[in-house]
Amino acid sequence: MSRARAAIILAAGHGTRMKSSVSKVLHPVGGRPMMAWTIALAKSLGCEKIIVVVGSHNPDAKLVAEASLGPGTTALQDPPLGTAHGVNAAREALKGFEGDAIVLYADTPLIRTETAAQVFDSLVQGYAVSVLGFEAADPGAYGRLILNASGDLDAIVEAKEASPEQLAVRLCNSGVLAAPAPMLFELLSEVKNDNAKGEYYLTDVVALARARGLRATAVPGTEDEVLGVNSRVELAQAEAQFQARKRQEAMVAGVTLTAPDTVYFSHDTEIANDVTVEPHVVFGPKVVVETGAVIRAFSHLEDCFIRKGALIGPYARIRPGSDIGENAHIGNFVETKKAKIGAGAKANHLTYLGDVTVGAKTNIGAGTVTCNYDGFDKYHTEIGANAFIGSDTMLVAPVTIGEGAMTGSGSTITKDVPAGALGLERADQRNLDGWATKFRARKAAAKALKSKGEGA
């Protein structure tokens, strides 16, 4: 970077095709709002000023933008009268900025940093305007990028206004455009709205620059990364593109995905090499998995840390605040929440561990529940190292089980169990001799009598 950079993010569209009460640009891809993707892109490009252009109909987008970027980082476009009109709404916010500005879109979440960086880089090479283009499999209604004999960009032609020869061009306009900020706003002041829609088109900037004898260029991107989202169908397409990219990145980095198409990642999932992920696993936001761990089939993880060599699942639910220690086992139908599980500890079957610390090499029997909630507040359970929790133990928090202690199966533990002790809470068992035999005979006789009456 040799010149200051700014980004203008257009987020003022109504998004009516989403048919949603939620602003279009706040719908997530990979567990992250689309607008947050674009803001992150602008930050990764080194933009020192980022302005999000919103409409009066999407106040939530304004709140989200300012929460991420700070006050004074949004501009209002009301009513929306085209892309050039939207960019022009940022004029006051960028007053006095002398660097380069790029126009991005809050509904286009998948553009890679290295791709957008080329748009900026071409300005340093002497071009006055740079546009991100892509080769479309089906150009259809996309605007066409028309190049001259020297390979420079001559014009952007809308499909409905293109000649047959121009419609044959496969290089299409993504909408992303960059120029020195003072020049961009100077050209925008010349854009007219003498078209069928009465809107001000950003694409006219290229022709206006060329009319001044300035050079423009088209930088190549890929069709999948410039996908814009205007409907639930396109939202699903963007999600599929993201997941395909994330799966590929994981496998290249040394992660084994035994059925890649069934594994779903979040935008911030971190998985080390030599991790194995079995089919139908879902990673929610804020998951870190260290090397050697195995995530078995049909498990769901979110906001948790899985340490080296841990075994998760199958059918495990690892909820926020969980920290699963090295070589620990969290087995089938076990749920954890705000649980710190020590190295080598095991909870293999049908258990809930919430608001708990479990010491190293402790064994948690099947059916154990930490009873952590009284309807108003949450309470903590502390289980020491090398403890043994018998099956079907109810641990009523707050309670502490000491190091090396045990609980008897079927106990409801309401008091602390000292280190090395056995905690046992059961009613005395009574055996009534012959009771079962007499009960069966009585029931059989009643059934026979009933059948005889029905047959009469």
Q: What is the mean pLDDT of residues 289-308?
A: 98
Q: What is the pLDDT of residue 451?
A: 86
Q: Is the omega angle on the peptide bond into residue 28 within 30 degrees of 0, that is, cis?
A: no
Mean pLDDT of the chain: 95
Q: What is the mean pLDDT of residues 130-154?
A: 94
Q: What is the pLDDT of residue 2?
A: 72
Between 75-79, 287-291, 385-389, 415-419, the lowest mean confidence (pLDDT) is in 75-79
Is-contact 269 242, C-beta < 8 A? Answer: no
Q: What is the pTM of this model?
A: 0.90
348 has pLDDT over 70 = yes
CA dist 373 and 369 (Å) reads 11
Q: What is the mean pLDDT of residues 340-354?
A: 98
The conformation of residue 417, written as its DSSP 8-state character, comes to B
Work out the percent of the chain whose per-residue pLDDT is above 70: 99
Residue 127, helix vs strand vs coil: coil
Predicted confidence band of residue 13 (pLDDT cuts 50, 70, 90) = confident
Residue 248, helix vs strand vs coil: helix
> What φ, ψ does residue 431 adopt, rounded to 5°?
-110, 120
Q: What is the mean pLDDT of residues 294-305?
A: 98
DSSP string of 334-351?
EEEEEEEE-TT-EEEEEE
Walk me through the domains of the chain, giving residue ranges and CATH numbers: 5-221 (3.90.550.10), 232-423 (2.160.10.10)
1 has pLDDT over 60 = no
Q: What is the mean pLDDT of residues 373-380?
A: 96
Work out the percent of the chain whose per-residue pLDDT is above 90: 90
pLDDT digits (tens, 9 = 90+) for 168-224: 999 999 999 999 999 999 999 999 998 778 899 999 999 999 999 999 999 999 999
236 has pLDDT over 60 = yes
Q: What is the pLDDT of residue 155?
A: 92
Is-contact 337 357, C-beta < 8 A? Answer: no
349 has pLDDT over 70 = yes
Q: Which pair of structure tokens corresponds to residue 66?
A: 């300012």
Q: Could you give the residue numbers annotated as active site?
A: 349
Residue 132, helix vs strand vs coil: strand
Q: What is the pLDDT of residue 58?
A: 84
1/29: higher pLDDT: 29
129 has pLDDT over 90 = yes
Q: What is the pLDDT of residue 93?
A: 96
Q: What is the mean pLDDT of residues 356-367?
A: 98
Q: What is the mean pLDDT of residues 102-114?
A: 97
Q: What is the pLDDT of residue 317?
A: 98
Q: What is the pLDDT of residue 456?
A: 63
Q: What is the pLDDT of residue 161?
A: 85
CA dist 351 and 362 (Å) reads 14
